[in-house]
Amino acid sequence: MKPRAVGRAVLGVLLVLATGCSYAPDFESGTLACSSEGTCPEGYTCADGLTCWRSGECPTSATPAARFVGQWDFVSPSTRSIVCDGTAMPIEDVAGDYAYVEEGGPAPLRTTYFCDWDLDLDPTGTTTVIRAGESCSGPDLDNPDIVYTWTGQAFTLSTSNGRTGTLQMSLPYTYTSPAGNGSCTMTYTVTLTRTCS
């Protein structure tokens, strides 16, 4: 065999061996510890601060409150209806929006959606209950002459597994503007999936 042919044969064998030796971890979620910097192998997330979970999977939580922590994405079917001064506006599809839930504050949980809302848990630990009497104000992002004041009436997020859930939310609000004032109520009926933090 000529030297050039031998070189090609050796190169071919090396390529076959190299492609057969790739590192592709396939750990069961929750069995591998996060690094001291909170990192995990590619395709995994340090979801609970302690262990690595496949991206998109959430840890089963030791406490009911922890089951709610993370980003809850609105998926289809998810709708919002708005009634302003007695007039109903067209129902909107809000799939693609999200609400973020975290632990802390005066209640076991807090969410951010238009405002920061403090959330308690019902006795079963599977549903959030908004703290009464909370509100916030802010200008319209496109027109600062319009100012809104939102009041938290309901933020009922229900989940039994910490991965999927439903949300019934009601946020009455008033607005003031150079053209006049008014009051509205936004009502959401949402299907959710949770992205772990």
**How confident is the model at residue 45, as a pLDDT?**
80
**How confident is the model at residue 114, as a pLDDT?**
94
Residue 137: strand, helix, or coil: strand
120 closest CA partner among 137, 136, 103: 103
Q: Where are the beta strands (DSSP E) in 15-114?
A: 32-33, 44-46, 51-54, 70-84, 87-88, 92-93, 98-103, 109-113
**How confident is the model at residue 23, as a pLDDT?**
58
96 closest CA partner among 77, 114, 112, 75: 75
167 closest CA partner among 195, 189, 196: 189
| Domain range summary for the chain, segments of one domain joined by + | 19-57, 61-195
Rounded Cα distance, 120 and 122, in Å: 7
Residue 60, token pair as written in the block: 């089963």
Rounded Cα distance, 67 and 100, in Å: 13
Per-residue pLDDT in tens (0 to 9) along the chain, 197 residues = 555 554 455 445 444 445 555 556 678 888 888 898 888 898 888 876 678 888 767 766 567 898 898 899 999 999 999 999 999 999 999 999 999 999 988 999 999 999 999 999 999 999 999 999 999 999 999 999 999 999 999 999 999 888 899 999 999 999 999 999 999 999 999 999 988 65
Q: Which helix (H) or strand (E) holds 148?
A: strand 147-151
